[in-house]
Structure 1
């Protein structure tokens, strides 16, 4: 149960304004998977859904890409099954975290924009959107640097070829 306490503390720290997106370890994921399995044995739909949301949260916050991908798949499947704006907002946000973790910044930003349509002043989504936009900008700068380097190499090759003539 200490792992669950750690999970909830991490979530609590994030909601209170931490700038870092928390990571989740395999022990917490395994605990959430056990909780989902237990909830599937006759518990109410609400308890099952809460367990699945906790597992989804843990998966998209994992350091392992395969866990993140599994969390994304679970959230995408469940997104259409729930019409509650609050649940939609949470699922969109978690999907955005997952796509951010997989460096799919454009998709993450799109999901955050949908999330912010539901809750325009949700600080958590606004913070992640800034992080995502910083990632997009960083990727753009890296892309420009790679293009400039490639152009420089090409110019060097052409110059070397012309000087040998």
Structure 2
């Protein structure tokens, strides 16, 4: 019986903590290494490659300031993409950043643009599923909160009515 209760508590905790998120996180050390790489780049091509790695690291950070910095870098460089593949990569990273910031509609819009470029890209399909799961979960939580509030309100009204009698 205890094992069943433990699994139930674990699954509820996983639901509310977003346990299905498979997008990797990036540490501050990796970001610092990418920043050094950008500073030490000898050619424009090396610099551009280093900036892409830094952007990747920033939008995968647990620090919201890093994520926002990565979003700014990617948005500023999106028009300078030299190929559809590079555009796809930047759109994907923008989608990850908006996902990390909780802007799921914008993230979904960007990942859909990635899938227009390459419809079978597994990474983008995986992110799209994570976005849809978050949107559905947030909707369920919102419904639960609203239902609880209505229940408390009705209970309060019933209690007041009972006291008046």
User: TM-score, normalised on structure 1?
Assistant: 0.83
Structure 2 partner of 1:102: 101
- Correspondence 1:24 to 2:23: no
Structure 2 partner of 1:34: 36
CA distance in 2, matches of 1:65, 1:101: 8
Q: Deviations over 1:20-68 (max 9, x none)?
A: 21111111100100111112xxx33221111100000001111111111
CA distance in 2, matches of 1:75, 1:148: 41
Q: Which has the larger radius of gyration?
A: 2
Q: What is the RMSD computed on CA atoms of the aligned residues?
A: 1.3
Q: How many Å apart are 1:83 and its aligned residue?
A: 4.5
The secondary structure found in structure 2 opposite 1:126 is: helix
Q: Deviations over 1:89-117 (max 9, x none)?
A: 00010111111111211111111001101
CA distance in 2, matches of 1:143, 1:83: 43
Q: How does 1:57-68 map to 2 (within 5 A)?
A: 57-68=56-67
Q: How many Å apart are 1:69 and its aligned residue?
A: 1.3
Q: How many Å apart are 1:81 and its aligned residue?
A: 2.0
Q: How many Å apart are 1:161 and its aligned residue?
A: 2.0
CA distance in 2, matches of 1:70, 1:60: 8
CA distance in 2, matches of 1:163, 1:75: 61
Structure 2 partner of 1:93: 92
Structure 1 partner of 2:48: 49
CA distance in 1, matches of 2:54, 2:76: 14
Structure 2: segments with no counterpart, 5+ residues: 1-20
The runs of at least 4 aligned residues of structure 1 exceeding 4 Å deviation read none
CA distance in 2, matches of 1:77, 1:119: 23
Structure 1 partner of 2:121: 122
Structure 1: segments with no counterpart, 5+ residues: 1-18
